[in-house]
Amino acid sequence: MSNQPLLLAKGLSKAYLMGQRTIEVLRNIDLTVERGEFLALRGASGAGKSTLLHLLGGLDLPNSGEISFDGQNLRQLSSNELVKLRNHRVGFIFQAYHLLPELSALENVVLPGRMARTSVNQAVTKAKDLLTRVGLAERMEHRPYELSGGEQQRVAIARALINNPDLILADEPTGNLDSHTGDEIINLLCALREEKQTTLIMATHSATIAARAPRVIELQDGQLANRLNPA
């Protein structure tokens, strides 16, 4: 295994054109993320947390600056190479779940595995195991509209893990859940991350949730400030 950081970002800036105005979301951000690290990205709504996660996961590119993922400069990858990297090495968990409504829980989890060219039998077996691990052994054949918000997010966690990613990016994973269900989801996500020693970056506006991570990144005015949580 390489000793280099999993993620190395230098001078990241991102702006959007809104009508006649240019909105600067991120400004000259430097960030290093080690393998197996768990960090929380904290900031108010609209602070740019989602934008930063999208850049780190290769869903978008910065206006300036560079991101190195395991030594690969994301700017130098083709569109197809970025798709492959996201599918094989990054697991995304979104606040809005983003499950395909026409597919069952099992089919939603299997899909990224099949996109990674895992055999049907292997993908189904692994998806069933993951859904069992997240407490949905009896709900695999249900479609998203038949599941509660917490159950849908559990499906999303299983889907994010199906290809054994090096990096999990969780964007406000409890934002649509009540506090009790949200606590259960965070406990589950942290337990699975610890078991697999996967790198986890979790965006949240909650100080309580951020406190679960050993390292917190504060995002203010498009810039970062790092601090460590006490053990």
41 within 8 A of 9, measured Cβ to Cβ:
no
Residue 94: closest CA among 47, 135, 149, 141: 149
Residue listed under structure tokens 């790198």: 199
pLDDT at 129: 95
pLDDT at 231: 55
pLDDT at 45: 81
pLDDT at 3: 77
Please give the chain's pLDDT, 231 residues, in tens: 567 899 999 999 999 888 888 889 999 999 999 999 999 999 888 788 999 999 999 999 999 999 999 999 999 999 999 999 999 999 999 988 999 999 999 999 999 999 999 999 999 999 999 999 999 999 999 999 999 999 999 999 999 999 999 999 999 999 889 999 999 999 999 999 988 889 999 999 888 999 999 999 999 888 887 766 765
Encoded amino acid at 14, one letter: K
What kind of fold does domain 7-228 have according to CATH? Rossmann fold (3.40.50)
DSSP per residue over 31-52, as a string? Answer: EEE-TT-EEEEE--TTSSHHHH
The b-or-e profile of 133-168 (16+ CB within 10 A means b, else e) is bbebeebbebebeebebbbbbbbbbbbbbbbebbbb
pLDDT at 1: 53
Instruction: Break the chain into its structural domains and give their ranges.
Output: 7-228
Positive or negative: CA dihedral 57, 189, 175, 39: negative
222 within 8 A of 27, measured Cβ to Cβ:
yes
3-state SS, residue 130 = helix
